[in-house]
């Protein structure tokens, strides 16, 4: 008879005791026996969080063998894929191998279903048998592995109207466009840092629908070559070129678009450190700053806003927003240009 575990997975915590699996240094990744309220999945691919993959790639000098060794080492040591520098993980794609006895008939999954995890690898028990391929340009690692979804874990079934890699690429950042749909209102000016990435493009699309003809959605990129393509995509009213680690440069370029009027909302999708103030500085008092990037420092954001006397509401980029999987996949269904971009760039 299967033992029943805690719905949040604390029965898998090895050290330190008393914390949830995300905060734990080491968790139990034994896949031989599962608990009655767990789901065992055979994993085919990991989408490593962008901030995490960037850090790993830089630490390994871009060498794919070393990148693989580092990922294998992290999982062997911690029982999960949690970057010790960024603290972030990613998500997995796989097939349901076994459903615990207490969950059978109570969830919308059956053995053999293809799923994408919508909870972070930083809290997910993972055992990698082999790394098959590393795709540096899209932060993806093909693996022979197994993972556990807890009773509280969220997931999405693979849609049947798009390829698995395409769905995985979009669902990897599902929390961002769902928030970009929820936060702006008609007539708002929205600034999106990291405008050329997956989350930036999806956020721009949703924000454009909300602000309407009287609002602006302005993207920030560092490479001027990216500007024409983004304008053609139709997800921004304007695109500016600035370095997001230089807040004054970003502010001046952003305010030049609005005639000096500060922004109602900024969304930070940049996958490198030290971009907090570039997101805060152009926003008006009582405005919103949404940090989706896992490279964000709470300390830098909080003390930085205080230091410049900005009374803004700052939102941590919770990767989960109600119905976020459907909202994100529907962007690809609604917009042929974005779907084509994702198929060319991330598949």
Higher pLDDT, 100 or 295: 100
CA 142 to chain centre: 18
Domains and CATH numbers, the chain: 10-158 (no CATH), 175-345 (3.40.50.720)
For 99-124, write each residue's pLDDT tens digit.
999 999 899 999 999 999 999 999 99
pLDDT of residue 309: 97
At CA 336, angle to CA 194 and CA 334, rounded to 5? Answer: 90
Using DSSP, state whether 347 is helix, strand or coil: coil
The position carrying tokens 């964000």 is: 296
For 180-213, write each residue's pLDDT tens digit.
999 999 999 999 999 999 999 999 999 999 999 9
Tokens of 343: 């198929």
Closest CA to 241 of 220, 256, 260: 220
Supply φ then ψ for residue 340, to 5 degrees: -65, -40
For 63-76, write each residue's pLDDT tens digit.
999 999 999 999 99
CA dihedral for 238, 240, 246, 248, sign (positive or negative): negative
Contact 200, 229 (CB under 8 A): no
CA dihedral for 174, 179, 184, 186, sign (positive or negative): positive
Interstrand relation of 126-135 and 189-193 (parallel, antiparallel or unpaired)? unpaired
Contact 184, 190 (CB under 8 A): yes
């Amino acid at each position: 008879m299967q033992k029943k575990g805690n719905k949040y997975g604390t029965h898998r915590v090895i050290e330190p005791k008393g914390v949830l699996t995300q905060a734990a240094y080491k968790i139990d990744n034994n896949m031989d026996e599962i608990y009655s309220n767990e789901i065992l999945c055979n994993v085919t691919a990991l989408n490593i969080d962008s901030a995490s993959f960037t850090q790993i790639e830089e630490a390994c000098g871009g060498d794919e063998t070393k990148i693989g060794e580092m990922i294998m080492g992290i999982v062997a040591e911690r029982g999960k894929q949690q970057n010790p520098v960024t603290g972030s993980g990613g998500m997995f794609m796989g097939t349901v191998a076994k459903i615990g006895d207490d969950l059978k008939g109570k969830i919308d999954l059956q053995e053999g279903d293809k799923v994408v995890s919508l909870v972070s690898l930083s809290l997910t028990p993972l055992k990698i048998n082999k790394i098959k391929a590393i795709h540096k340009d899209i932060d993806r690692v093909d693996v022979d592995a197994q993972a556990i979804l807890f009773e509280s874990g969220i997931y999405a079934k693979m849609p049947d109207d798009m390829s698995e890699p395409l769905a995985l690429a979009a669902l990897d950042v599902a929390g961002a466009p769902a928030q970009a749909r929820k936060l702006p209102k008609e007539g708002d000016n929205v600034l999106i840092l990291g405008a050329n990435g997956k989350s930036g493009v999806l956020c721009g699309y949703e924000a454009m629908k909300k602000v309407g003809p009287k609002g602006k959605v302005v993207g920030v990129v560092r490479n001027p070559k990216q500007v024409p393509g983004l304008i053609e995509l139709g997800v921004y009213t304007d695109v500016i070129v600035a370095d997001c680690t230089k807040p004054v440069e970003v502010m001046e370029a952003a305010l030049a678009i609005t005639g000096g009027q500060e922004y109602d909302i900024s969304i930070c999708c940049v996958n490198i450190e030290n971009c907090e103030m570039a997101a805060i500085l152009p926003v008006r008092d009582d405005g919103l700053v949404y940090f989706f990037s896992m490279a964000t420092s709470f300390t830098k954001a909080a003390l930085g806003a205080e230091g410049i006397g900005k009374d803004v509401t700052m939102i941590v980029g919770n990767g989960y927003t109600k119905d976020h999987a459907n909202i994100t996949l529907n962007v690809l269904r609604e917009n042929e240009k974005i779907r084509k971009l994702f198929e060319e760039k991330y598949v």
